[in-house]
């Protein structure tokens, strides 16, 4: 009985994998663009209904729930999570391929999309020098 319930949940939620990838991209984008709040790449944790990351050095959380992004801690306050923006609205502004950990300064034409531990990189037909690849620039 338990196995059939679990399998029906997995089958009935085909959008969840894309949603998780979108959340990962948003969290990575936040790390890349707001390092003062979200330094040092952290792993995403889950505590239903939340997906979140915690940054011990700043005491700040970034979280997603019900297609919404929230922050908590530091200058955002510790009383309750503060709503920032919806996932679709933020993705419309930043795109779906804007958040690969540690890619703070990609070169023009470089796009990278991360889904869990797989990163797909395209160069828009450009070549990268060996030095650029080694340094991560």
pLDDT at site 12: 33
| Tens of pLDDT, residues 58-75 | 999 999 999 999 999 999
pLDDT at site 109: 56
Q: Within 13 Å, how many C-alpha atoms sit on residue 28's CB side?
A: 24
- Residue ranges covered by each domain of the chain: 15-135
Q: Is the pTM of this model over 0.75?
A: no
To the nearest 10°, the Cα dihedral for 56, 58, 85, 43?
A: -30
Tell me the pLDDT of the chain (137 aa) as tens digits.
Answer: 333 333 333 333 334 555 888 899 899 999 989 999 999 899 999 999 999 999 999 999 999 999 999 999 999 999 999 999 999 999 888 876 555 554 544 555 566 666 555 666 666 666 655 444 444 44
Counting runs of H as helices and runs of E as strands, what totals does the chain give? Answer: 4, 7
């Amino acid at each position: 009985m338990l196995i059939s319930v679990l399998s029906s949940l997995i089958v009935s939620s085909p959008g969840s994998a894309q949603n998780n990838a979108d959340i990962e991209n948003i969290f990575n984008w936040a790390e890349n663009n707001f390092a003062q709040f979200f330094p040092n790449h952290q792993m995403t944790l889950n505590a239903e209904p939340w997906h979140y990351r915690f940054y011990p050095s700043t005491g700040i959380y970034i979280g997603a729930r019900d297609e919404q992004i929230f922050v908590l801690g530091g200058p955002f306050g510790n009383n309750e999570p503060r709503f920032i923006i919806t996932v679709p609205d933020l993705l419309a502004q930043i795109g779906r391929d804007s958040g690969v950990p540690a890619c703070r300064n990609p070169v023009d034409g470089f796009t990278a999309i991360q889904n869990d531990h797989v990163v797909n990189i395209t160069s828009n037909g450009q070549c990268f020098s060996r030095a650029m690849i080694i340094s991560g620039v």
